[in-house]
A and B are shown apart, each in its own frame.
Chain A
């Protein structure tokens, strides 16, 4: 009995710990400016107002950030799935010399700290004369590609080799076998890796901050949130910042909850055998 009470206290404590900052952001976003700066802070908004949300949606920098993030994260997802499934198929199902070195080279990229390539990447982008948004898409491959290749390679490996053989007997080329037969079967893995690539790209800050420093129009959500300033420059407008935090977080939480089984499977892929 005591054990049971202790167990539920623990469960509730963990739940509060996980959710509380989100709750605090939400109630702060609903508070009036006067209530926000009052001490001590109130634990519940007295006169809930949507004024902060209105201000956020009238903030051109924030809206543009949302648009840019959707474009960048969407393009990163598509590009890493296309390129990653090519590589995953080759590494998971085909026999060729240099297969395991290739896999290691791609995996080794996971260890690359982004900061270590920052200055060099900046030079590459200037060399190619790329605008800010495409340059972000390209540079995000450094962390989405290794992961995508890793998960898809494992997935392709798990598909029965007989599929490949019977398609070849029927006269299909290797590439046709890949696009017509194997790729549709990998749909679940594609959804998982695509979601994770999207979230990683949505999150990224260092490259976004650096490569948009001379192109403010290309700022993504994290940069917009970090540099958020209100109409009045005097004080940091935390009410609006919290409203912005809610706006950028809710769609992501919805996405994550809808696909939670896939995401958990993707996150734990490779970490746990079996």
Chain B
């Protein structure tokens, strides 16, 4: 018996193990194929077609149109805006400043195969330029999402670091603070969007306008969601509140792995707290920080809930643009192309992060 087992046991066992492993992995792979790989493949395919939803959500069309969706989505042009001419065909000036034609109308009047809408207008070296795009709203959505991502992740990291460093101290009520940190995290994103929507009301019925005017900081109520310049910052504000706790928790866990002897030794050597932070805390926290940054950046790039709930179609994030192309415009092909562009952007970020930070992670 024992001899027999020795003779063929291990390989039979190994084979049995292999079979069991494959059997156990089948459900996962079937699910991945059905909910991720096939849908992604299908999205890539239909991004090259003019597929549309007809009434009743039937798919229709689906002729191959090559890169047309991508061209429509990404075509841009940078033009110099001409000066307005007076009756004698001389460039017009007002108070010594050149008078330009309306950049929007100028773009419309161009003799190009595509019509362009203005994304942004800026002055540089005495000329006025206009950046036009055939899908100006998509380009703006990409830009807004990038601005949203960079500012909210930066603020979350900073605030999260402050909170984490504060909570490493031992004090009465530390447990309460740790519990309080989980509150924003536990609130559904849609719900926190609605709570902040209510707090940021454009009248003094909203908390912020009431509070700021009580402090005497503002004379007139601020329309946070209706003022173009404040629309993205308002989103950042909500997102930072909601996700800073996650950042702080990760950093707190990272901080707890740093041996206290290091700080004691540094203190003996006379290093001040700032020095200790930069030469001990930060380097040892880098792996944790890297992972937290990757998680949060990839998450922020796919922001949908906040923009969709608060702005609907008034201002898009990348994801809400693709959503409305699919659901409201019923333009499956175009929505798919936008999705692929989003996927590529997110993937690029992931690769860049892993390249930049991954090396240190491995040792």
CA distance A182 to B187 in the complex (A): 34
Contact residues, A218-274 vs B (CB, 8 A): 221-223, 225-226, 228, 238, 241-242, 244-245, 248-249, 252-253, 255-257, 260, 263-264, 267-268, 270-274
Contact B322 A118 (CB under 8 A): yes
Contact A141 B253 (CB under 8 A): no
One of A49-57, A185-193, A198-206 contacting the partner: A198-206
Tell me the count of chain A residues lying within 8 A, CB to CB, of chain B.
99
Contact A116 B28 (CB under 8 A): no
CA distance A141 to B36 in the complex (A): 9
- Name the CB-closest residue of A to B40: A117
Whether A44 sits at the interface, judged by CB under 8 Å, is no
B interface, by DSSP: helix, strand, loop or mixed?
helix
Least CB distance from A47 to B in Å reads: 17
Among B32, B184, B339, residue most surrounded by chain A Cβ atoms (within 10 Å): B32
Whether B254 sits at the interface, judged by CB under 8 Å, is yes
Residues of B within 8 A of A274 (CB): 257
One of B99-107, B114-122, B175-183, B225-233 contacting the partner: B175-183
Contact B31 A94 (CB under 8 A): no
Contact A22 B288 (CB under 8 A): no
Contact B25 A15 (CB under 8 A): no
Whether A166 sits at the interface, judged by CB under 8 Å, is no
Contact A273 B36 (CB under 8 A): no
Contact residues, B304-322 vs A (CB, 8 A): 304-305, 308-309, 318-319, 322
Least CB distance from B339 to A in Å reads: 5
CA distance A174 to B39 in the complex (A): 34
Residues of B within 8 A of A203 (CB): 188-190
Contact residues, B1-58 vs A (CB, 8 A): 13-14, 16-18, 20-25, 27-29, 31-32, 34-36, 38-43, 46, 57
CA distance A11 to B18 in the complex (A): 54
CA distance A139 to B40 in the complex (A): 13
Residue in A90, A113, A149, A238 whose CB lies within 8 Å of B198: A238
CA distance A221 to B293 in the complex (A): 29
Whether A111 sits at the interface, judged by CB under 8 Å, is yes
Binary contact track A86-104/B, C-beta < 8 Å → 1, others 0: 1101110011110100100
Tell me whether A145 and B28 are in contact in the complex, defined as CB-CB below 8 angstroms, given that A113-B319, A124-B39, A271-B253 are known contacts: yes
Whether B186 sits at the interface, judged by CB under 8 Å, is yes
Residues of A within 8 A of B301 (CB): 113
Whether B129 sits at the interface, judged by CB under 8 Å, is no
| Total A-B pairs, Cβ < 8 A | 303
Contact A138 B31 (CB under 8 A): yes
Contact residues, A29-70 vs B (CB, 8 A): 36-41
Whether B146 sits at the interface, judged by CB under 8 Å, is no
Tell me whether A120 and B210 are in contact in the complex, defined as CB-CB below 8 angstroms, given that A11-B171, A25-B198, A39-B203 are known contacts: no
The size class of the interface chain B forms with chain A is 35 or more
Contact B183 A18 (CB under 8 A): yes
Contact A21 B24 (CB under 8 A): no
Least CB distance from B321 to A in Å reads: 9
Contact B253 A268 (CB under 8 A): yes
A interface, by DSSP: helix, strand, loop or mixed?
helix
CA distance A241 to B195 in the complex (A): 8
Residue in B16, B184, B332, B335 whose CB lies within 8 Å of A174: B16
Least CB distance from A251 to B in Å reads: 10
Contact B43 A116 (CB under 8 A): yes
- Name the CB-closest residue of B to A241: B194
CA distance A126 to B56 in the complex (A): 12
Whether B93 sits at the interface, judged by CB under 8 Å, is no
Whether A105 sits at the interface, judged by CB under 8 Å, is yes
Contact A267 B179 (CB under 8 A): no
Whether B234 sits at the interface, judged by CB under 8 Å, is no
Residues of A within 8 A of B357 (CB): none
Least CB distance from B33 to A in Å reads: 10
Residue in A10, A15, A24, A226 whose CB lies within 8 Å of B180: A15
CA distance A228 to B194 in the complex (A): 10
Contact A22 B28 (CB under 8 A): no
- Name the CB-closest residue of B to A39: B204
Contact B28 A205 (CB under 8 A): no
Residues of A within 8 A of B179 (CB): 257, 260
Whether B185 sits at the interface, judged by CB under 8 Å, is yes
Contact B169 A222 (CB under 8 A): no
Contact A205 B304 (CB under 8 A): yes
CA distance A263 to B186 in the complex (A): 11
Least CB distance from B276 to A in Å reads: 15
Residues of A within 8 A of B28 (CB): 83-84, 86-87, 106, 145, 149
Binary contact track B308-350/A, C-beta < 8 Å → 1, others 0: 1100000000110011001100001001100110110011001
CA distance A118 to B46 in the complex (A): 12
Whether B213 sits at the interface, judged by CB under 8 Å, is yes
Contact B166 A10 (CB under 8 A): yes
Whether B241 sits at the interface, judged by CB under 8 Å, is yes
Whether B192 sits at the interface, judged by CB under 8 Å, is yes
Contact residues, B160-180 vs A (CB, 8 A): 162-163, 166, 169, 171, 173, 176-180
Tell me whether A271 and B292 are in contact in the complex, defined as CB-CB below 8 angstroms, given that A40-B204, A253-B183 are known contacts: yes
Whether B271 sits at the interface, judged by CB under 8 Å, is no
Contact B177 A14 (CB under 8 A): yes
Could you pull out 13 A-B pairs where Cβ atoms are within 8 angstroms?
A17-B241, A24-B207, A94-B21, A99-B21, A118-B322, A123-B42, A173-B20, A203-B189, A222-B191, A225-B194, A228-B194, A264-B253, A271-B295
A-B pairs with lowest CB-CB distance, top 5: A120-B39, A120-B42, A39-B204, A117-B39, A268-B253
Identify 8 new A-B residue pairs, CB closer than 8 A, beyond the known A41-B205, A86-B24, A117-B43: A96-B17, A105-B32, A116-B342, A120-B38, A149-B28, A174-B16, A205-B309, A272-B291
